[in-house]
Structure 1
Amino acid sequence: MTNFFDFAISRLPAATADCRRPAPGEIEAMLQKESFPAALRLLAGSFIALYEGSPEMTALFATRQSRLLCHALLALYFQKCGARETGTGEAVLTREDFGHLALRHGLASHSVAYAFFKEALKRGMTRPADRSGDGPDNGPGNGLGKGIVPSAPALAMLAQWYDVHFQALDLLDEGFRASRFIKRSEAMLPHIHPRVSQAFLSHPEVRCPGPLSIIFNWFDAGGLLMDQLIAGIDWERPTEQGRRLTDVETVTQLATSLSLSRIHIGRKLAAAELIGGIGWSGRRGRSALWISQGFYEEYARMQARKLLILNEAFIDFV
């Protein structure tokens, strides 16, 4: 997959300001829930399953920058749909609109946003708004004279993504968000996704998490690698010396599951090992890999923040 990262996104531009952030104490309270590890396992495992079901398209969600760009693109579409409720015709997205949005929120330069816009079309996340203009090189803009819209598979995947998160929230308090969402997903998505996307851009835990996330999210499928490690935790074994053993025993095991080279994976694991984020219980690359408590907490805090954001959006809608 193309690596789009050429633009610092660690800062929080004024355009992302959100005065309705959940209090920090809410994250701590969620992390302390007895059922939170089960919710975390559900999320990590479901992210992997989504990737395996549609690797071409879901690969766009596998790094921090491209994931935020995906959410921003879909949110922009829903916002345009809302603005056209009293008008006629189909709401469409242009690369200029998206480029301005990405730059305004400090997500990417114009050139990177344009490259992502093209990649989203190539991977089936979007389709040309003008069906008669389908084709690789049909006029200016590769057949995109009338812009693009999200594809049906992309909207279905987004609904699955929300369903998984609502299932995780339901595990925490025995709620019924997931079943209620499934019944009204077509009505809910256009209303809650723009708000959720905006909140993702506003919160450091999601937008610019800690050092381990930075290491992994600077390369293709880095987010999925973190998911694999969390999903592979041996939850039956207690944490020892701040370490959690996983079921990962070789670099090849990770490389094969993510369709990446051993060298590529090995370099990133080595970088994480240097700062104490991961390590091997025995011979390097030939024994069970462990992740540090810091790695776990960094991932857990990011997911907790996301769940709080989605829960607030859900409550406001219903």
Structure 2
Amino acid sequence: MAFTAEQLAGNSSFLMSIRFLAGRTRGMFDAGPRLARLLASHQRWLLTQTAYALNLEYDPRDPTSGFTAVRLTGRITAHKVASRNTVLAFIEELHTYRFIVHTPGDERRRPRHFEPAEVSHQAMFGWILANLAALDLLDGGQRAAFFQANPSLMKLAQPRIARHCLEDAAWREPPEQVALFLWTEAGGLVVDHLMARMDIENAEPERFPVGRVETRALAGDFMMSRTHLQRLLAKAAQRGCLGWHDETRKTHLWISRNFVEEYCAWQAVKFAYVDEAFEWAKAQGEEMTA
């Protein structure tokens, strides 16, 4: 039985799962920084997941199906996630860096179909695997092991996750404090870094210590300007999301419990859809082999 978002948000161990996933995400960034940045803002996350789902839903009997510029633009603009020009620029960037390729034989056809390169397949598989492993921490489940042993579940589960997340405003439109980070370039990487570094054991009633944060090094790490990072942290501090133990030097950071709870409640929406899609795909697979 899959967890609901409410069950996850109310689970006292869920914060450990959030930290676990943040650490895994950081590892994925270190392994492939440019590709990982595609998931580092919420708009790009929605674009990437939707594009990948369109590819998996391709039906050779229907030439209008699959991942095309028209299909991705239609699905994304319908939910006001991005403009047509933003979608087209995103596809161009993916193609330039060879994260997607033209479907063989489609180079001169219209509509032109795209499909993920092998590195993109591996990254998406790794992302779902990490989410399932984070869920396993809550109940001792074997989701990640089962998914790894049955990689064909990906074709069923990922489009379902992507569709539910895109259609649900509770995930599509993050709450105000979370949106401050997630709608900015590389903001997701910053939040993951803070979550992974958060000291749960030494938490205070209203905040969690994060430790020493060097903005110059962190900005360089995430391929963003130091000015952009400092501006982002300053805005978050103004809203009370985070602050500095040493206000003048600004080296040791804390993050507010209110922000962490808001972030966990938002993440619970996505985790619930991942869990539901996994259970559904697993049941479909069992029916097909019965």
What's the TM-score once normalised by structure 1's chain length? 0.81
Amino acid across the alignment from 1:30: L
Q: Which residue in the other structure is 2:154 paired with?
A: 189
Match of 1:148 in 2: 114
Residue of structure 2 equivalent to 1:76: 54
* 1:238-257 → structure 2 map (5 Å cutoff): 238-240=203-205, 242-257=206-221
Does residue 66 (structure 1) correspond to residue 44 (structure 2)? The answer is yes
1:287 matched residue in structure 2: 251
Query: Which piece of structure 1 moves more, 168-177 or 215-224?
Result: 215-224
1:18 equivalent in structure 2: none
In structure 2, the residue matched to 1:45 is: 23
2:133 alignment partner, one of 156, 167, 170: 167
Structure scoring higher RCO (CA < 8 A, sep ≥ 6) equals 2
Match of 2:279 in 1: 315
Q: Is the 8 Å Cα contact of residues 19 and 196 (structure 2) preserved in structure 1? A: yes
1:204 corresponds to which letter in structure 2? A
Mark the CA change 1:223 to 1:285 in structure 2 (over 3 Å): closer, same or farther: farther
SS at match of 1:246: strand
Q: Match of 2:43, SS?
A: helix
2:106–2:112: 8 Å Cα contact kept in structure 1? no
> Amino acid of the residue matched to residue 302 of structure 1?
W
The superposition leaves residues 133-177 of structure 1 with CA deviations (integer Å, 9 ceiling, x where unpaired) of 6xxxxxx8xx99843211111111111001101101111000101
Aligned partners of 1:249 and 1:285 also within 8 Å: no
1:290-316 deviation line (CA, Å, top 9, x unaligned): 111121112211222211111111111
Is the 1:192–1:314 Cα contact (8 Å) retained in structure 2? Answer: yes
The number of residue pairs the alignment matches comes to 280
Tell me how far 1:92 sits from its aligned partner.
5.2
Question: 2: distance between equivalents of 1:262 and 1:277?
Answer: 19
Contact kept in structure 2, 1:248 and 1:254, CA below 8 Å = no
Contact 2:56 2:66 in 1 (8 A): no
Task: Quote the residue 1:100 is aligned against.
Answer: 74
> How far 1:126 sits from its partner (Å)?
0.7
- Corresponding residue to 2:236 among 258, 272, 297: 272
CA distance 1:131–1:233, change in 2 (3 Å) = farther
1:29 aligns with 2:7: yes
Which whole-Å CA distance do the structure 2 matches of 1:311 and 1:51 have between them? 23
* Alignment-mate amino acid for residue 122 of structure 1: T
Cα pair 2:181 2:232 within 8 Å, conserved: yes
Specify the SS of the correspondent of 1:200: helix
The RMSD of aligned alpha carbons is 2.4
Contact 2:175-2:266 within 8 A present in 1 as well = no
Whether the 8 Å CA contact 2:54–2:66 is kept in 1: the answer is no
| Deviation sequence 1:241-298 (CA, Å, 0-9, x none) | x111102333224213212222111101111111111110113453311111121112
Alpha-carbon distance in structure 2 between the residues aligned to 1:94 and 1:29: 37
Q: What amino acid maps onto 1:169 in structure 2?
A: L
Deviation at 1:34, TM superposition (A): 4.0
1:119 to 84, 90, 93: 93
For 2:182 and 2:275, locate their aligned partners in 1 and report how far apart those are by CA, in whole Å.
25
TM-score with structure 2 setting the length: 0.88
Task: Report the 3-state secondary structure (helix = DSSP H, G, I; strand = E; otherwise coil) of the residue aligned with 2:136.
Answer: helix
Q: Which runs of 5+ in 2 are unaligned?
A: 283-290
| Counterpart-to-counterpart distance in 1, 2:255 and 2:67 | 41
Deviations 1:109-143 (A, max 9, x none): 2111111111111233211223796xxxxxx8xx9
Q: 1:174 to 1:132 in 2, by over 3 A?
A: same
Corresponding residue of 2:222? 258
Q: Which moved more, 1:191-200 or 1:299-308?
A: 299-308
Unaligned runs of 5+ in 1: 1-21, 134-139
Matched, 1:305 2:269: yes
| Matching residue's letter, 1:252 | R
SS in 2 for 1:247: strand
Answering whether residue 177 of structure 2 is matched by residue 212 of structure 1, we say: yes
- SS of the aligned residue for 2:30 comes to helix
Distance 1:219 1:123 in 2: 21
Contact conserved, 2:55 with 2:114, CA < 8 A, in 1? no
* CA apart distance, 1:35: 2.8
Distance 1:211 1:88, change over 3 A: closer
Q: How far apart, CA to CA, are the structure 2 residues paired with 1:132 and 1:28?
A: 45
Judge conservation of contact 1:130–1:146 (CA < 8 Å) in 2: no
SS in 1 for 2:57: helix
The residue number in structure 1 matching 2:288 is none
| Matched residue type, 1:197 | A
Structure 1 Cα separation of the partners of residues 118 and 241 of structure 2 = 39
Secondary structure, counterpart of 1:290 in structure 2 = strand
Alignment partner of 1:130 is 2:104 = yes
